[in-house]
Amino acid sequence: MKKNLRLAAIVIALFAPLSSFAFDLMPYAEEVGSSQELSKRWFKEGVLMVYSNSDDTSARAGFQLIERSSKVGMSHALGAMGLFHEQGLFVKKDLNLAKKYYENAVSAGSPIGFYGMARVYENGYGGVQASLSDRNFWLRKGADASNKESVFGLAVALEQGQGLTINHRAAARHYLKACNQRMLEACYNLGIKLAKGIDLPQSYTNALALLLYAQDNGFEPAKLAVEGFIRHVPDPELKKAILNASKMTKSKTAEALDLSF
């Protein structure tokens, strides 16, 4: 039970139709940098403790630092508290309270709050009427603020026509942006799109490079796709794909593929 709690704290799993999200607080801890402002230090130290591979006591102490930071209005801490209350991590699940934290995070200017409000309108939390148009409004706000979960969510909406006109090129652009922010599921989805070539230039080489990158960095669904591709990709293209996947791993972006849509 303790192990499960710790793993849940390391990656906060959020779900949307036909796709899963993994909300990553680390970029916001990194954004704080070496700030000596007390609330920011509490938030950064708290996130590092929650994400550490130590014990549950350390993770819970990290949560308490984030909670302390939220009480003095630190924007990202408010967003994180929304996530915790939505998922029932360290606290009792409370969707009404999650909504309030997200609203306060938005008021304080945190992109976590933008994504949280998209969740609110997707699922009808806190008594609001579920609305794809309102959800997509907040996803766009989050995407404009470079929140990778929002970027990814908008890509899914564009690809599947969730309250938006299907636009495969725009979806690919958003997947690429999220992939360049180290979201492995976005790299995987973009690889599948390039393999299919629907309204996009088909490229098995780039598709395989993206899938290899996702697989090599631990995204399990990519393994089966890679096995299928390797059997059908000519040897020269396979070698190029492996080389490009290696370049992606070193740079942690898809820039080696020189993609544009």
Q: What is the pLDDT of residue 22?
A: 52
Q: What percent of the chain has pLDDT over 70?
A: 91
Same domain, 141 and 23: yes
Same domain, 68 and 12: yes
Question: Interhelix angle for 221-230 vs 204-216, to 10°?
Answer: 140
CA dist 6 and 83 (Å) reads: 15
The predicted-structure confidence for 212-259, as pLDDT tens digits, reads as follows 999 999 999 999 999 888 887 888 888 998 998 999 988 888 988 989
Same domain, 91 and 205: no
The larger pLDDT score, comparing residue 258 to residue 20, is at: 258
Same domain, 148 and 211: no
Examine residue 165 and state whether it is found in any structural domain, yes or no.
no
CA dist 102 and 159 (Å) reads: 26
Same domain, 149 and 52: yes
- Report the number of distinct structural domains present in the chain: 2
Q: What is the pLDDT of residue 20?
A: 35
CA dist 92 and 84 (Å) reads: 9
Q: Of the candidates 242, 259, 235, which has an alpha carbon nearest to the alpha carbon of residue 177? A: 259
Please report which confidence band the pLDDT of residue 33 belongs to, taking 50, 70 and 90 as the band edges: confident
Q: What is the CATH number of the domain that holds 133?
A: 1.25.40.10
Same domain, 226 and 133: no
Last residue in a domain, options 107, 125, 160 = 160
Same domain, 71 and 127: yes
In degrees and rounded to multiples of 5, residue 13 shows phi and psi of: -85, 125
Range of the domain at 224: 186-257
Examine residue 181 and state whether it is found in any structural domain, yes or no.
no
pLDDT at 16 over 70: no
Same domain, 115 and 196: no
At 13, which helix (H) or strand (E)?
strand 12-16
Q: What is the pLDDT of residue 261?
A: 85
Examine residue 207 and state whether it is found in any structural domain, yes or no.
yes
- pTM score, two decimals? 0.86
Examine residue 176 and state whether it is found in any structural domain, yes or no.
no
Examine residue 232 and state whether it is found in any structural domain, yes or no.
yes
pLDDT at 97 over 70: yes
Last residue in a domain, options 105, 126, 160 = 160
Examine residue 234 and state whether it is found in any structural domain, yes or no.
yes
Q: What percent of the chain has pLDDT over 90?
A: 70
CA dist 205 and 256 (Å) reads: 12
Examine residue 172 and state whether it is found in any structural domain, yes or no.
no
Same domain, 212 and 250: yes
Same domain, 15 and 115: yes
Examine residue 99 and state whether it is found in any structural domain, yes or no.
yes
The predicted-structure confidence for 156-178, as pLDDT tens digits, reads as follows 999 999 999 999 999 999 999 99
The predicted-structure confidence for 133-164, as pLDDT tens digits, reads as follows 999 999 999 999 999 999 999 999 999 999 99
Same domain, 113 and 192: no
CA dist 161 and 35 (Å) reads: 42
Same domain, 144 and 57: yes
